[in-house]
């Protein structure tokens, strides 16, 4: 078990360093932030600002300095907000995490019962309806879904706010939009996993003993069927964080995603690096927890 955890932690470190390196390289290949900060200034003044911001050093030196500061939680000051970048990200992180968590819970609340019922009633009308819903949901981009919901519930019916994050009514549309991104996939995984399990010998034995059908499904079949679902849920959480960037932009939600989008437009390197670093840390931490949960659900992994 200890060796398993150590290997996973080593992979986490490699992923974090790799994400930071790729983000750093893409940002510095995107343009010169000094040209946006001082668009009409003489070149001498721009050169002085680059030296002040440390942008005149070679890229390896800048990356080494970034890593050294990041280890202490210092990502530098925002070029435009004139404040430390890391507190800006931390301030908005709860909003993004809340949106992601609510979307995941809503997706699970829909996918789990519908997927189980669809598997039990295989081939019937409810199964065909669920299958059609899966294809429909996975074919809709998040931004399109959000715009359609705004047009319908906010513009046409005037039931919910168009944007913001100051009430539960404002939270509803972004949550539904983001959950439609992952609910169809989870539903399909639940259905296929249950179909693989409900025909096995131990399930038939439980039925033969007179155990009620839903007790057989809930107690005997669901635990083994949950193994693929746990894995996919960890991956989908990371995708939901990425989808939150688009959703927050569409609904003007004051989260990290919207902050990063604005920072990319302004070439605000410290804010983008701090935001991506934090999102990557959350994703790898969730996947690490999923790995440990998978070991609990499938003890054979310990032997391997």
Q: With pLDDT > 70 as the criterion, what percentage of the chain qualifies?
A: 97
Q: Decide if 207 is inside a domain.
A: yes
Q: Residue 301's pLDDT band (boundaries 50, 70, 90)?
A: low
Q: Decide if 231 is inside a domain.
A: yes
Say how far apart CA 98 and CA 104 lie, in whole Å: 10
Whole-number pLDDT of residue 93: 95
Q: Decide if 79 is inside a domain.
A: no
Whole-number pLDDT of residue 175: 95
DSSP conformational letter for 77: B
Count of residues for the chain? 304
Say how far apart CA 295 and CA 3 lie, in whole Å: 13
Q: Are residues 235 and 196 in the same domain?
A: yes
Q: Are residues 46 and 131 in the same domain?
A: no
- pTM of the model as a whole: 0.88
Q: Are residues 282 and 143 in the same domain?
A: yes
Give the tens place of pLDDT for each residue, 15-46. 998 999 999 999 999 888 998 888 888 888 88
Residue span of the structural domain in which 56 resides: 2-70
Q: Are residues 19 and 161 in the same domain?
A: no
Q: Residue 219's pLDDT band (boundaries 50, 70, 90)?
A: confident
The least confident of 10-14, 72-76, 177-181, 213-217 is 213-217
Whole-number pLDDT of residue 216: 81
Say how far apart CA 192 and CA 290 lie, in whole Å: 20
Look at residues 187, 183, 184, 214 and name the one whose alpha carbon lies nearest to residue 198: 214
Query: Which residue's entry shows tokens 């003890």?
Result: 299
Q: Are residues 199 and 140 in the same domain?
A: yes
Secondary structure element (H or E) that encloses residue 291, with its range: helix 269-297
Q: Are residues 59 and 174 in the same domain?
A: no
- The rounded mean pLDDT for the chain is 87
Q: How many domains does the chain have?
A: 2
Give the tens place of pLDDT for each residue, 71-94. 888 999 999 888 999 999 999 999
Q: Are residues 148 and 205 in the same domain?
A: yes
Q: Are residues 129 and 61 in the same domain?
A: no
- Facing residues of 84 across strands? 77
Q: Which long-range contacts (CB under 8 A, 24 or more apart) does 260-267 make?
A: 263/78, 264/30, 266/33, 266/36, 266/79, 266/80, 267/27, 267/30, 267/31, 267/32, 267/33, 267/36, 267/79
């Amino acid at each position: 078990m200890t060796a398993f955890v150590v290997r996973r932690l080593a992979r986490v470190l490699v992923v974090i360093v790799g994400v930071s390196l790729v983000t750093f390289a893409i940002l510095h290949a995107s343009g010169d932030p000094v040209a946006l900060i001082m668009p009409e200034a003489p070149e001498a003044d721009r050169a002085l600002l680059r030296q002040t911001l440390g942008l005149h050093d070679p890229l390896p030196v800048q990356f080494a300095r970034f890593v050294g500061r990041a280890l202490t939680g210092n990502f530098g000051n925002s070029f435009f907000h004139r404040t430390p970048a890391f507190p800006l990200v931390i301030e908005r992180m709860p909003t993004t995490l809340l949106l992601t968590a609510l979307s995941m819970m809503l997706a699970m609340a829909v996918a789990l019962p519908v997927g189980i019922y669809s598997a039990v009633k295989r081939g019937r009308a409810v199964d065909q309806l669920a299958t059609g819903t899966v294809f429909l949901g996975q074919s809709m981009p998040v931004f399109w879904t959000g715009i359609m919901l705004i047009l319908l519930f906010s513009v046409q019916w005037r039931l919910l706010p168009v944007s913001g994050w100051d009430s539960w009514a404002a939270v509803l549309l972004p949550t539904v939009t983001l959950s439609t991104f992952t609910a169809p996939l989870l539903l399909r995984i639940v259905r296929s996993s249950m179909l693989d399990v409900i025909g096995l010998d131990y399930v038939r034995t439980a039925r033969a003993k007179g155990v009620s059908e839903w007790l057989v499904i809930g107690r005997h079949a669901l635990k083994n069927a949950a193994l693929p679902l746990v894995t996919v849920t960890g991956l989908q959480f990371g995708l939901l964080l990425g989808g939150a960037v688009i959703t927050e932009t569409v609904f003007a939600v004051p989260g990290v995603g919207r902050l990063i989008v604005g920072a990319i437009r302004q070439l605000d390197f410290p804010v983008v690096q701090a935001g991506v670093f934090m999102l990557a840390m959350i994703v790898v931490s969730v996947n690490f927890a999923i790995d440990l949960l998978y070991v609990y659900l499938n003890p054979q992994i310990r032997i391997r």
